[in-house]
Structure 1
């Protein structure tokens, strides 16, 4: 059927909206002001960026972070890999994941020699009851990926209680924490207990997937002495380049990042509203869920129709992902047909025709 004409897969922002002028300005400023020493080996992250991130995450996500406990990473997956090396050193071997999630993350856990167990899932989302023997839990508490709900306050508290009682760790994947539409922002889980939660974030949903910029806010036990270059993190730290780190630090400090996120929030909200309106009008059998936040929505399909819709999408040259692809093979879930629609992915000029193609394939 040829290459897709329209891409509604989740995981990417609208790359045509990258703030080139503001980024260039921040880059010039960063180069002008950087001392010569800044162009040396960045170790676990330039101090300028760790300081700017600590301020930003405290203000926007309620993260309690000391710059000395922030590890700058080349995106989420690379940060997760580095973290797992450290967990293995501490004798942690079993990680619980959500019933729905990304197979890439499960694969990284297995490659790191971890045993993967699955958390239950019910009408309110993930049930935070890790099986006995679990050492760490990896989850998306502020916006479950891909089903879209936020972990309920009492479940957040229960998970932190579990970590305290079992000397466990929570790995919080805050993959699109900036994008909230119809509700107050859900603060980061890390704010409940900075010693039990590792907060992992990235610019891949807010700026661009190709930037390869992320961060991990570590508990004291993981950060002790380990953030100096060549001290255990050193050998595995293939972090982002110095220029990108200095530029992002200037971009954060100048307020340009806040302005960009605000502008994109409006753009994505308009798209989300158009998606809901179009599906409601054209495919009344389909229910749209998980839309209070983020860059994707879940379209719940009538039972048994997911394969048919995905086949039709191929004919329309529409790149689309079924909900089934995000379901863990060991999850005990009733069958659920659906689509995970990344409404942020198309460029602005391509959005109306992508939406039209989607409506044509819906039952």
Structure 2
């Protein structure tokens, strides 16, 4: 396996820059997910590592060796595409064996390696079938098996399960994670689906408009977003974001969202830190995930009365939209906790889960109450 290093990588298509100053190190045997919306440059980055796209400037190293000037065939990597790209006239066995036969491997070695991969992917029972007889999930397993069979230094995957239905995607996520652990392969995976990223990755690389926004473990990216883009891209439902101003309610430090009349209480220490960092606070945004909005049926100290606007039942829990002035604050509650739209409940913000951002730059101010 191998470490992959991107240093000052730039990529232009004509006058359009699709990768900007990319600096990233992917450790040996690490599973890294490139995550971002369509057009953010994640697939181009993956193809640049593979050698399917030439970079405009910068350096790409695989296992310590510069490869930006090498052909894809000389980089010792495997690529799994979203579309299966299987040979329809060949059996599953022959599709998996194809890279080994092309490399001139002996027949006995080919047979042993194909059957080893087939066992690990639980597809020994359809080795004699052709792709047309398989389901979408099975065809993608064959494509992954073809990539794994020659034990490459790295495996690159471009939304390999994006075309599958929800149940198959869930099954394949589990399968991909298991294969990564068993094969100890350096893996780079591209997706726009943050659920896939959170469940698969050792580290997530969040991208937008060709720029690396944040790199971290799934929980670090979820709990400590570096900016507004990451905060609103990671999580389902996404983080609540609202313009905020400091206020004083009866001498108590508080923060008001939008044009709401009432304000949520914060500690004096929080107010003091915000004032020092944000100055006049004319461009302050507050962010909090739905689980950080604490909801009660009865009035309590520090709670604000709010009207339920919309209830989204999701089985084990509900997502409830609470009207706060001209803003909607989404809260996660137990199933059936709020009976119907129009009910009045009482809410407060968990300060340990409350984030503050500079609205103009989008950056996190890094101010949050201690857990």
TM-score when normalising by structure 1 = 0.28
Considering fraction of residues, name the structure with more helix. Answer: 1
Higher normalized contact order (CA 8 Å, seq sep 6+, divided by chain length): 1
Larger Rg: 2
